[in-house]
Amino acid sequence: MKREKKRVHAQGAKWRKLDNTAKLFAAVAGEDFSQVFRISATLKEEVSPELLKRALDATLPEFENFRVKLRQGFFWNYFETNNREPVIEREETYPCKFIDPHASERFPFRVSYYGRRINFEVFHGLTDGLGALNFMKFLIERYLELLTGEKGEKGRDSRGDRAGARGEKGYAPERRKTAPDGTPPEGSGCPASGRQKADRRVRERAVSADSYLTYYRERPRRRYETERALAITGDCLPLDWQSVLHGTVALEDIRAISKNAGVSITKYLAAALLWSIIQVYTDGHTLKRPAALNLPINLRTFFESDTMANFFSVVNIAWPAGPAPRNFEEMLALVSRQMDEKIVKDKLEETISYNVSNEKKWYVRIIPLWIKHIALSAIFFRTSRAYTMTLSNLGPVALRGDLAGMVSGFQLLLGVSGRQRMKCGVIACNGKLCITFNSAMEDMDLQDCFFRFLREQGIEAELESNGAADQEHDQGNYPSVSHDRGKLKKIVNLFYLALLTAAALMGIMNYATYDRLDRWWSLLVMGGIAYAAMTVRYSVMRRANIAGILVRQSLGAQALLVLIDYMYGMKGWSVNYAIPCLILFDVIAIVFLILLNRLNWQSYFMYQITITVFSFIPLFLWWGGLITKPLLSVVVVILSVAVLAGTVILGDWSVKKELKRRFYF
């Protein structure tokens, strides 16, 4: 019994591969490009943190594919079971900030609250908009049930009007039939079925499956657009600031005007946004570059899939370079035609084929992860130039009838980036459509133009901002960020600049005095400066695994010791004694960490393998004649190999499982 209990509570008991899109997001995500989006719900009453925590605790077991943490393998990232308890926090900063894989109990999402608003922010590598919406609806309904004192299964058998997450165990997400442009209809859903453990395991595999691989077919591949698009320019807000502006309109009003124009709501909004971009960022007569929208499309509309992982594609909807549209009707006709042509199953299959075919190439699969990250980042930023901004419409949210009246509305916020400094999210609830601009720009010209255009069409928008760039519509529903959350980052950047300046000055001084000293002493100073910079970046700023810090610091120290030895005539003490001793210290330290944290030993296993590989380096130096006293180096190799072999033998099946997930390709 004890052994079984340990397995239940051991971190990383299960793991799964990232879906095709998540692999890209994991490669490019960082402080400056968070790949985080937010779904918020504004209630009629102040949020109770205690009830919200209880609601979250009740929600997560129904979404086991969200109970993970992001880990790095040798060839790919992967998700690993996370048995920690998620926390909630009071919102204190701007939305859609980077989710550090080593913070927030390592969950790839965060739940926060402020006033009457509940926020669910999620790393896009975990799920897409539909998956996040299902989670958020379940969380809100659990919270409202607790708030109203509902107990047990009361009311759960009469939820025919409910779209989204179900309360039953083994829940599989709804498969929502949507309009061709990806806008899901209101009130659709699929009933949960079966409570057998075997059926539950089948469903769990289904909701975390990579549907890109399921529907991959060999066919002509349609590449992404790469022509550089018109960029949103102007003065940016201070570091880490973001300006939020919600415009809430009556759903019936926007639906009526769209229907009168013979198009869907998404088509109408896309045309209005492109029209506004052209009016604000061009002379209104000629476009030097195309004005392009990145429009995400829910692929579950076209393919049978219950996955809660990412399963979406994007299409480029653009007015080409050259003459600007003469009127809005001309813009609307072009947008409607492009969406009809591009958002069809055949075209979307071509995109799936292109994405997955690259992942399946054997020479891509065997490239080490750190090289993949560099290559994927370069490819992603090259293709992202083809979009002016992103417009995402999640469609209407349908809550349980007896709870819907307790919610004022939902909002969708998309994280901005250096290339796309403004993005637009659309979501509807209780007869209201909320159009949200999230921006890193100081001016509000585009937002003003867009909502002015809607007003001219007879659609009045109730505006609300977070006060970052627009104080007029600030209703106090966002925190006043009085302190600069990026202050530490600024200080560190200044620290790096100071180190670089010091290194340059030392080099100049050394060059000026070389005739008298006859020694390049500045190299030693530069080595120390580089070691200090590495320490701050990888050991102080990152909440890294202690074993990772140990290995990085050891490598930096070894390089510095060799440099010192070289500067003073290369006596050989660094390679004969210092480096083997440091490697031996690493071997002993890793063993100590494994014994100290046996339930999470796999966190250190890759570093143990790394140190064992590094222990062979002195042997190559001996073979090359650089080491003259090889005894200590040989002893270290024998000990490191013996310790690794002992871990493999004692770990048995656990080690094989760990090797499989770390080295899958």
Return the top range by mean pLDDT from 41-45, 98-102, 361-365. Answer: 41-45
* Helical (H) or strand (E) element with 361: none
d(CA 520, CA 511) in angstroms, rounded, equals: 8
Spatial neighbors of 132 by CB under 8 A, at least 6 apart, are 37, 39, 120, 122
CATH number at residue 386: 3.30.559.10
Encoding tokens for residue 17?
């591969």
d(CA 553, CA 576) in angstroms, rounded, equals: 19
pLDDT tens profile 314-340: 999 999 999 999 999 999 999 999 999
Count Cβ atoms below 10 Å from residue 541 Cβ, excluding itself. 13
Angular region, 149: left φ>0, alpha ψ -120 to 50, beta rest? left
List, in sequence order, every beta strand (DSSP E) within 290-421: 291-298, 312-319, 322-323, 389-397, 407-414
Tell me if 385 is assigned to some domain. yes
Give the end of a domain, one of 345, 379, 398.
Answer: 398
Tell me if 420 is assigned to some domain. no
Spatial neighbors of 164 by CB under 8 A, at least 6 apart, are 133, 134, 137, 138, 173, 174, 189, 397, 398
Same domain, 383 and 504: no
Tell me if 579 is assigned to some domain. yes
User: Exposure pattern of 232-259 as b/e (b: 16+ CB <10 Å)?
Assistant: beeeebeebbbbbbbbbbebebbeebbe
Same domain, 513 and 654: yes
pLDDT band at 483 (very low <50, low <70, confident <90, very high): low
Tell me if 657 is assigned to some domain. yes
Query: Reduced to 3 states, what is the DSSP secondary structure of residue 291?
Result: strand
Spatial neighbors of 23 by CB under 8 A, at least 6 apart, are 76, 77, 125, 359, 376
Spatial neighbors of 646 by CB under 8 A, at least 6 apart, are none
User: In the prediction, which pLDDT does 407 show?
Assistant: 94
Tell me if 51 is assigned to some domain. yes
Q: What is the mean pLDDT of residues 472-500?
A: 74
User: In the prediction, which pLDDT does 573 show?
Assistant: 82
Residue 608 has pLDDT above 60, yes or no: yes
Return the top range by mean pLDDT from 4-8, 82-86, 163-167, 222-226. Answer: 82-86
Query: Shortest CA distance to 601 belongs to which of 588, 592, 613, 612?
Result: 592
Q: Between these two residues, 138 and 523, which has the higher pLDDT value?
A: 138
User: In the prediction, which pLDDT does 107 show?
Assistant: 92
User: In the prediction, which pLDDT does 385 show?
Assistant: 86
Same domain, 514 and 619: yes
Spatial neighbors of 359 by CB under 8 A, at least 6 apart, are 20, 23, 365
Sheet holding 77-81, edge to edge: 15-17, 77-81, 68-72
d(CA 52, CA 278) in angstroms, rounded, equals: 43
Give the CA angle between residues 243, 246, 251 to the nearest 5°: 160
Is residue 37 within 8 Å of residue 414, measured between CB atoms? Answer: yes
User: In the prediction, which pLDDT does 9 show?
Assistant: 45
* Helical (H) or strand (E) element with 1: none
Q: Between these two residues, 342 and 511, which has the higher pLDDT value?
A: 342
Return the top range by mean pLDDT from 249-253, 417-421, 540-544. Answer: 249-253
Same domain, 503 and 360: no
Same domain, 379 and 497: no
Q: Between these two residues, 188 and 260, which has the higher pLDDT value?
A: 260
What is the total count of domains within the chain? 2
Helix axis angle for 20-28 and 369-384, nearest 10°, is 90
User: In the prediction, which pLDDT does 482 show?
Assistant: 58
d(CA 575, CA 340) in angstroms, rounded, equals: 67
d(CA 662, CA 298) in angstroms, rounded, equals: 31
Tell me if 1 is assigned to some domain. no
Q: Between these two residues, 608 and 122, which has the higher pLDDT value?
A: 122
pLDDT band at 201 (very low <50, low <70, confident <90, very high): low
pLDDT tens profile 621-632: 888 788 888 888
User: In the prediction, which pLDDT does 159 show?
Assistant: 38
Give the end of a domain, one of 379, 398, 417.
Answer: 398
d(CA 549, CA 540) in angstroms, rounded, equals: 9
β-strands 77-81, 68-72: how paired? Answer: antiparallel
Count Cβ atoms below 10 Å from residue 65 Cβ, excluding itself. 21
Encoding tokens for residue 150?
């509902």
Q: Between these two residues, 482 and 399, which has the higher pLDDT value?
A: 399
Tell me if 421 is assigned to some domain. no
DSSP track, 476-524: S-S----S-TTHHHHHHHHHHHHHHHHHHHHHHHHHHTHHHH-S-THHH
User: In the prediction, which pLDDT does 627 show?
Assistant: 81
pLDDT tens profile 257-300: 999 999 999 999 999 999 999 999 998 889 999 999 999 999 99
- The whole domain housing 540 covers 487-662
d(CA 568, CA 559) in angstroms, rounded, equals: 15
Tell me if 438 is assigned to some domain. no
The DSSP call for residue 389 is E
Give the end of a domain, one of 398, 427, 459.
Answer: 398
pLDDT tens profile 555-600: 778 788 788 877 777 778 888 888 888 888 888 888 887 777 766 6
d(CA 293, CA 274) in angstroms, rounded, equals: 7
Same domain, 495 and 373: no
Same domain, 49 and 171: yes
pLDDT tens profile 298-310: 999 899 888 888 9
Spatial neighbors of 19 by CB under 8 A, at least 6 apart, are 210, 211, 212, 213, 307, 309, 310, 311
Residue that the structure tokens 């966190």 belong to = 603
pLDDT band at 106 (very low <50, low <70, confident <90, very high): confident
Q: What is the mean pLDDT of residues 118-134?
A: 94
Same domain, 492 and 372: no
Comparing 22-26, 38-42, 435-439, 574-578, the range with the smallest average pLDDT is 574-578
Give the CA angle between residues 285, 290, 294 to the nearest 5°: 130
Q: What mean pLDDT is reported for the chain?
A: 81
Is residue 235 within 8 Å of residue 442, measured between CB atoms? Answer: yes
